[in-house]
């Protein structure tokens, strides 16, 4: 930032200084030319042709320097085929006549015709009354004084712009240093968190970086929640596996006759627990993605096709907008809908109806069947892990628990009601909408 600011300041001051030098130098030169032109016009007005056809002045030039040899201020009147009529200040030197002008206007130019003296010359061609010759009037002045004025002017501009540039550069350094100072505070706070001295950024920050600090603290809280959930799930899984492992160890130690059956039964229990906790872990890990987004209708159609292959006698119907999306990973949405629709097909009477609709920032799924339903007093219990109300059909008893846990991870809800249209169970699943 400092280097860019310095380069930009240097570029602007160099461009501005060059432009200002051109303008002021031209103004000083124009002022000097105006003075020379005034003297030139005075000479022309005071000139006339004598009896011999030569130029003469009715009055002398007022400036005393025209009478002093090599004074730096000169005039001369010339014409083709005529001897130049010079001022006394030219002494034994003469101004170059040059070529003819195509007009009678005033011309300004610099000349180095004198080896030791650079000149600024103003000249004009005039045809005086009574003369057929076009006379050239010239007034010349040494450039020493003009160049000195321009030199002083440039020196003043350079010093002023140098001081201005230095001041701006120091200001850019201070602005950068103090502007980025809050970021040093943030770095110190992060170092304190890494050292275990603080849980999040606690120091007050300026308004410019306060939103970043808030997002950083929110990220830290989110990571802590995920870590806590991971620890809790690990503890729950360890606790869930502890009892089956104890049963297997006791049966093996006692050399029980039904050891094989015990191992198979308890291994099945452990597999259900592992599947359940893996589903929760996957959902928690994917929840952190702000880009989690799934199209509802393709997922619903995919699940219906898969379930219809298992339950060919069941009729599936669905209704709702085709363009809805949810803030859920597609795999998790498939797992929730798969569990709910499969349960409706398994325990229903042969008809399953799914309604999808948008509702106040959520997408609501209504899965209805024409089965016997679930008594109201048992609807909360069905979400517990391993609970099965109908033991006559295969299952793990984890489907509803997985749906509840995954829905809550995505800040959704699931509830059980009675279907008014089909008479069986109605499952109401709400997930956050993405559109």
Which whole number is the average pLDDT over 45-61?
84
Question: Using DSSP, how many helices (H) and how many strands (E) does the chain show?
Answer: 8, 14
- Please tell me the number of Cα atoms within 13 Å of 93 on its side-chain side: 17
- My answer on whether 40 and 77 are in the same domain is yes
Residue 125's domain is classified under what CATH number?
3.30.450
Coil, strand or helix at 242: helix
More confident residue, 398 or 60: 60
Do 270 and 344 belong together in one domain?
no
Give the pLDDT of residue 191: 87
Query: How far is CA 288 from its chain centroid?
Result: 24
Number of folded domains that form the chain: 3
Task: Please indicate, yes or no, whether residues 327 and 214 belong to a single structural domain of this protein.
Answer: no
pLDDT for 35 equals 94
Is the CB of residue 89 less than 8 Å from the CB of residue 69? Answer: yes
Q: Does one domain contain both 256 and 323? A: no
Task: Output the pLDDT for position 182.
Answer: 83
Q: Is 98 inside a domain boundary? A: yes
Q: Which of 204-218, 270-284, 314-328, 370-384 has the lowest mean pLDDT?
A: 270-284
> What are the C-alpha distances in Å from 260 to residues 245, 247, 255, 267, 354?
14, 12, 10, 10, 43
The secondary element (H helix, E strand) that includes residue 295 is strand 294-295
Domain-embedded: residue 327: yes
Is the separation of the CB atoms in 311 and 346 below 8 Å?
yes
198 is a domain residue: no
User: At which of 287, 308, 332 does a domain end?
Assistant: 287
Per-residue pLDDT at 147:
92
Phi, psi of 2 (to 5 degrees): -65, -45
Could you tell me if 393 and 347 are in contact, meaning their C-beta atoms sit under 8 angstroms apart? yes
Torsion of CA 244, 246, 248, 254, to 10 degrees: -150
Whether residue 196 lies inside any domain: the answer is no
Tokens encoding 329: 């990973």
Same domain flag for 20 and 117: yes
Axis crossing angle, helix 399-409 with helix 259-287, rounded to the nearest 10: 20
Q: Given a cut of 80, is residue 149 above it in pLDDT? A: yes
Query: In this structure, how many other beta carbons lie within 10 angstroms of the beta carbon of residue 134?
Result: 14
Give the residue from 150, 176, 191 where a domain finishes: 150
Predicted confidence (pLDDT) per residue in 231-272, tens digit:
776 776 776 678 788 888 888 888 888 888 888 888 887 887
| pLDDT, the chain, mean | 85
Please answer whether residues 121 and 98 qualify as being in contact, where contact means their C-beta atoms are separated by less than 8 angstroms.
no
pTM exceeding the 0.85 threshold for the entire prediction: no
**409: closest CA among 320, 312, 314, 335?**
335
User: Would you say 178 and 206 are in contact if contact means Cβ atoms under 8 Å apart?
Assistant: no
Residues 226 and 319 in one domain: no
Q: Is 87 exposed, middle or buried (0-12, 13-18, 19+ CB in 10 A)?
A: buried
pLDDT at 285 over 50: yes
Whether 177 maps to a domain, the answer reads no
* CA distance linking residue 93 with residue 327, whole number of Å: 97
Residues 283 and 317 in one domain: no
CB 307 within 8 A of CB 342: yes
Q: Pick the last residue of a domain from 150, 175, 194.
A: 150
Q: Is 12 helix (H, G, I), strand (E, B) or coil?
A: helix
| Domain range enclosing 412 | 294-432
């Amino acid at each position: 930032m400092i280097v860019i600011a310095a380069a930009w300041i240097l570029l602007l001051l160099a461009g501005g200084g060059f432009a200002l030098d051109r303008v002021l130098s031209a103004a000083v030169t124009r002022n000097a030319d105006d003075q020379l032109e005034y003297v030139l016009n005075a000479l022309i007005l005071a000139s006339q042709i004598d009896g011999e056809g030569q130029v003469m002045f009715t009055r002398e030039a007022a400036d005393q320097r025209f009478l002093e040899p090599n004074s730096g201020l000169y005039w001369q009147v010339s014409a083709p085929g005529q001897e130049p009529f010079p001022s006394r200040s030219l002494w034994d030197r003469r101004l170059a006549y040059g070529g003819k002008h195509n007009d009678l206007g005033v011309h300004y130019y610099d000349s180095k015709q004198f080896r030791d003296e650079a000149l600024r010359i103003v000249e004009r061609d005039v045809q005086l009354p009574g003369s057929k010759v076009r006379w050239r009037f010239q007034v010349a002045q040494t450039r020493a004084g003009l160049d000195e004025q321009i030199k002083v002017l440039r020196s003043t501009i350079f010093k002023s712009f140098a001081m201005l540039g230095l001041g701006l550069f120091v200001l850019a350094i201070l602005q950068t240093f103090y502007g980025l100072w809050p970021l040093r505070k943030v770095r110190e706070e992060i170092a304190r968190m890494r050292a275990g001295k603080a849980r999040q950024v606690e120091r007050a920050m300026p308004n410019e970086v306060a939103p970043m600090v808030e997002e950083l603290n929110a990220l830290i809280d989110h990571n802590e929640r995920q870590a806590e959930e991971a620890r809790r799930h690990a503890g729950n899984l360890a606790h869930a596996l502890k009892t089956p492992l104890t049963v297997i160890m006791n049966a093996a130690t006692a050399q029980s006759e039904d050891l094989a059956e015990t191992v198979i039964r308890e291994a099945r229990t452990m597999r259900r627990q592992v599947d359940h906790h893996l589903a929760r872990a996957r959902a928690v890990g994917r929840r952190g993605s702000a880009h989690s987004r799934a199209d509802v209708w393709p997922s619903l159609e995919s699940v219906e096709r898969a379930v219809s292959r298992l339950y060919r006698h069941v009729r599936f119907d669905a209704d709702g907008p085709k363009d809805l999306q949810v803030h859920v990973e597609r795999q998790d949405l498939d797992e929730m809908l798969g569990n709910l629709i499969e349960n409706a097909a398994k325990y229903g009477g042969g008809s399953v109806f799914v309604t999808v609709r948008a509702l106040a920032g959520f997408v609501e799924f209504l899965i209805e069947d024409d089965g016997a339903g679930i008594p109201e007093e048992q609807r909360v219990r069905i979400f517990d892990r391993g609970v099965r109300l109908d033991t006559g059909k295969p299952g793990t008893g984890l489907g509803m628990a997985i749906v509840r846990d995954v829905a809550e991870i995505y800040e959704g809800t699931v509830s059980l009601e009675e279907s008014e249209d089909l008479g069986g169970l109605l499952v109401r699943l709400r997930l956050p909408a993405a559109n």
